[in-house]
């Protein structure tokens, strides 16, 4: 790598990492500069590895400009909670933090993390301190490293869920960066003299790009395993976890107008015994570390490394690094990628309530006081809270005697059995987009709920209000709410204008296809009304909407199906 740093074509980020002294940069000094609410440019990039993004309030952009003020800089902080789990005490600490330092809301993300928005520079260090004092962390929630490993957050469904859950935690832990910069900058820990930083896995330049891992347990693909750089699919035989199918090269982000970028679903390349999962994951990460594109960040994800060299190259490289060969893939079947709502009893005899949280935003509204309800529940809950990969929440490990009081709080606060919870809404996801995301072209989280109100009228007219259709929206093609896997999906092009995509499968194994571009709300409703009516009239028994629009050739399948390597 040293040698490659002489290469002027390397992306700017590589040089920033190189001179950052293992991610320290000048973050400390930047934080102390009282003249601006922003950080120095290099530190804006480096702070991502510490779990924060510099943003500004885009709603206030023109007003601030008019007043000749710098943008209202503020920070988003992402919290890593192993398996998306927090105790009641941790929940209360995060809730308080959102009120004290943030914008008063909490965001549950599509990858089982919490996000806090609206944190001013002076509050950033206290925020990260509070998070760590609650025994949570923000490290490696962003940046060119492996992120938290997604998996179903309820291990009490079966012994296999329990085992897989443990493994996800182990992988997450194993691939954390080892630099002590985080502890020095945020927690005032002294650097141990004479002990230089080492990054045995990542080395000094970390990965070429972010890296995402997820584990799914069929028949539920609730974490959208094929959207990840590396996915594992649990294989069960005779009620025993045998091992995992390995799939590689998923990633959904793309850039409008740049044909060399595209969403791609992961390919299944083989099967490994369960005790080999960390070895295989680590080896695959090293392949991406060594061969990933460090010149063009838009072409740096693992999917492009694979497409440039071929799947066979990857498998050969994997075998050669491992010194042994992975086996042929085993059969599996996914039925859905959504969450199942309501109460279920766990194998430990306790209760779990999966609660729909619209686009993951925990806030209070007139007649729907979700934040207050969860605060009151946290005050009595002896169990914990768990985040799903679909921006929802599980109130977990509830004892028999507390079930009624928890339900009573949800009822009182208007959260229990919300009548607006139609099939469409229950299966909806939207990314943050405006007003905090600097990359958004259009609204998503703040707009999709009202679009669903209107679509629900059409669904109702056609007797489909209970029908489960995945609907997803993002404010840009980075695809943070995995729009490319929506049976109906919208990707923002400009304020109030969306590309509409149709035809993903209901279980996350087929991408959707562009149907029409630059649609306004009126256009969207006009386009969808006859398609929904046709679906009501002409669908086969149990046929999902995504499959119907393909069968009727309303759109063609553009992406290859998941390929199995023979």
- Contact positions toward ligand SRM, by CB under 6 A? 53, 55, 76, 78, 109-111, 113, 115, 141, 147, 210, 212, 224, 227, 251-253, 301, 360, 391, 431-432, 436-439, 478-482
Would you count residue 444 as binding ligand SF4 (CB under 6 A)?
Answer: yes
- Residue 78 a catalytic site member: yes
Distance of CA 444 to the CA centre of its chain: 15
Question: Which residues are registered as beta bridge partners of 116?
Answer: 77
- Residue 350 a catalytic site member: no
Would you count residue 234 as binding ligand SF4 (CB under 6 A)?
Answer: no
Would you count residue 475 as binding ligand SF4 (CB under 6 A)?
Answer: yes
Instruction: Let me know if 190 is exposed, middle or buried by CB neighbors in 10 A (0-12, 13-18, 19+).
Output: exposed
Out of 24, 78, 472, 482, pick the active-site residue: 78
What gap in Å lies between CA 105 and CA 33, rounded to an integer?
A: 27
476 annotated to a ligand binding site: yes
Contact region with ligand SF4 (CB under 6 A), list: 81-89, 280-288, 429-437, 509-517: 429-437
Q: Answer for the pair 395, 383: CB distance below 8 angstroms, yes or no.
A: yes
Would you count residue 433 as binding ligand SF4 (CB under 6 A)?
Answer: yes
DSSP state of 514: E
Other beta carbons less than 10 A from residue 117's beta carbon = 23
Out of ligand SF4, ligand SRM, none, what residue 475 binds, judged by CB under 5 to 8 A for its kind, is: ligand SF4
Q: Which is nearer to ligand SF4, 128 or 440 (CB)?
A: 440
Other beta carbons less than 10 A from residue 87's beta carbon = 19
CB of 221 to ligand SF4, least distance (A): 21
- Residue 147 a catalytic site member: yes
What gap in Å lies between CA 436 and CA 57, rounded to an integer?
A: 6
How far is CA 271 from each of CA 181, 286, 289, rounded to the nearest angstrom?
37, 19, 23
480 annotated to a ligand binding site: yes
Q: Which is nearer to ligand SRM, 172 or 180 (CB)?
A: 172
How far is CA 374 from each of CA 149, 389, 404, 522, rounded to the nearest angstrom?
25, 19, 15, 37
Would you count residue 76 as binding ligand SF4 (CB under 6 A)?
Answer: no
Out of ligand SF4, ligand SRM, none, what residue 53 binds, judged by CB under 5 to 8 A for its kind, is: ligand SRM
What one-character-per-residue DSSP string does 408-470 give?
Answer: HHHHHTT-TT-TT--HHHHTEEE---TTT-TT-SS-STTTHHHHHHHHHHHHHHTT-TT----
What gap in Å lies between CA 566 and CA 312, rounded to an integer?
A: 10
Would you count residue 439 as binding ligand SF4 (CB under 6 A)?
Answer: yes
Would you count residue 489 as binding ligand SF4 (CB under 6 A)?
Answer: no
Out of 386, 476, 482, 510, pick the active-site residue: 476
247 annotated to a ligand binding site: no
What one-character-per-residue DSSP string does 324-376 give?
Answer: S--BPPPP----BSSPPPEEEE-TTS-EEEEE--GGGEE-EETTEEHHHHHHH
Strand 471-474 versus strand 488-494 pairing type: parallel
Sheet holding 240-248, edge to edge: 213-216, 230-237, 240-248, 267-273
Out of ligand SRM, ligand SF4, none, what residue 474 binds, judged by CB under 5 to 8 A for its kind, is: ligand SF4
- Residue 210 a catalytic site member: yes
Distance of CA 209 to the CA centre of its chain: 16
CB of 51 to ligand SRM, least distance (A): 10
CB of 79 to ligand SF4, least distance (A): 17
Q: Which is nearer to ligand SF4, 409 or 480 (CB)?
A: 480
Out of 17, 80, 121, 212, pick the active-site residue: 212
- Residue 151 a catalytic site member: no
Would you count residue 478 as binding ligand SF4 (CB under 6 A)?
Answer: yes
Which of 108, 149, 223, 432: binder of ligand SF4 (CB under 6 A)? 432
* Whole-angstrom Cα Rg for the chain: 23
Out of ligand SF4, ligand SRM, none, what residue 305 binds, judged by CB under 5 to 8 A for its kind, is: none
Instruction: List, as residue ranges, the binding site for [4Fe-4S] cluster.
Output: 431, 437, 476, 480
Instruction: List, as residue ranges, the binding site for siroheme.
Output: 480
Residues with a catalytic annotation lie at: 78, 147, 210, 212, 431, 437, 476, 480
């Amino acid at each position: 790598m040293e040698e490659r740093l002489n290469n002027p074509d390397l992306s700017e980020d590589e040089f920033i990492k190189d001179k950052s002294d293992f991610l320290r940069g000048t973050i400390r000094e930047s934080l102390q500069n009282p003249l601006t609410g922003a950080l120095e440019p290099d530190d804006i990039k480096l702070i991502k590895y510490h779990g924060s993004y510099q943003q500004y309030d885009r709603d206030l952009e023109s007003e601030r400009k008019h007043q000749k003020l710098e943008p209202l800089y503020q920070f988003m902080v992402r919290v890593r909670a192993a398996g998306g789990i927090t105790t009641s005490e941790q929940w209360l600490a995060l809730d308080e933090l959102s009120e004290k330092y943030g914008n008063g809301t909490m965001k549950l993300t599509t990858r089982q993390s919490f996000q806090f928005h609206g944190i001013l520079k002076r509050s950033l260090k206290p925020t990260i301190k509070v998070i760590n004092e609650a025994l949570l962390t923000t490290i490696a929630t962003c940046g060119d490293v492996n992120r938290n490993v997604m998996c179903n957050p309820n291990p009490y469904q079966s012994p296999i869920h329990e085992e897989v859950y443990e493994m996800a935690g182990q992988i997450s832990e194993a691939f954390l960066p080892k630099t002590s910069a985080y502890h020095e900058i945020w927690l005032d820990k002294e650097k141990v003299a004479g002990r230089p930083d080492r990054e045995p896995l990542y080395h000094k330049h970390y990965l070429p790009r972010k890296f995402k891992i997820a584990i799914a347990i069929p028949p539920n693909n609730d974490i959208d395993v094929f959207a990840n750089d590396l996915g594992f699919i649990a294989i069960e035989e005779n009620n025993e976890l045998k091992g995992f199918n390995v799939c590689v090269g998923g990633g959904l982000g793309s850039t409008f107008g740049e044909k060399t970028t595209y969403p791609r679903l992961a390919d299944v390349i083989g099967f490994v015994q369960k005790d080999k999962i960390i070895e295989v994951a680590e080896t695959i990460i090293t392949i991406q570390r060594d061969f990933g594109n460090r010149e063009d960040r838009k072409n740096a994800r693992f999917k492009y490394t694979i497409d440039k060299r071929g799947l066979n190259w990857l498998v050969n490289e994997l075998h050669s690094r491992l010194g042994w060969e992975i086996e042929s893939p085993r059969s599996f079947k996914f039925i859905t990628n959504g969450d199942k709502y309501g109460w279920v009893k766990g194998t430990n005899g306790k209760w779990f309530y999966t609660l729909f949280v619209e686009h993951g935003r925990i806030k209070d509204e007139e007649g729907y006081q979700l934040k207050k309800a969860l605060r009151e529940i946290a005050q009595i809950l002896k169990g914990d809270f768990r985040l799903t990969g679909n921006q929802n929440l599980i109130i977990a490990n509830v004892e028999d005697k507390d079930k009624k009081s928890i339900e009573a709080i949800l009822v009182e606060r208007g959260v229990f059995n919300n009548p607006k919870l139609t099939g469409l809404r229950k299966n909806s996801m939207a990314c943050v987009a405006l007003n905090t995301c600097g990359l958004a072209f259009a609204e998503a989280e703040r707009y999709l709920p009202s679009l669903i109100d209107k679509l629900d009228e059409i669904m109702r007219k056609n007797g489909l209000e209970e029908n489960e259709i995945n609907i997803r929206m993002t404010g840009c093609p980075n695809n943070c709410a995995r729009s490319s896997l929506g049976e109906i999906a919208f990707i923002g092009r400009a304020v109030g204008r969306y590309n509409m995509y149709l035809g993903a499968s209901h279980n996350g194994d087929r991408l959707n296809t562009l149907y029409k571009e630059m649609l306004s709300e009126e256009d969207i409703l006009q386009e969808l009304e006859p398609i929904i009516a046709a679906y009501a009239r002409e669908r086969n028994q149990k046929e999902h909407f995504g499959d119907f629009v393909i069968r009727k050739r309303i759109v063609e399948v553009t992406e290859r199906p998941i390929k199995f390597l023979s």
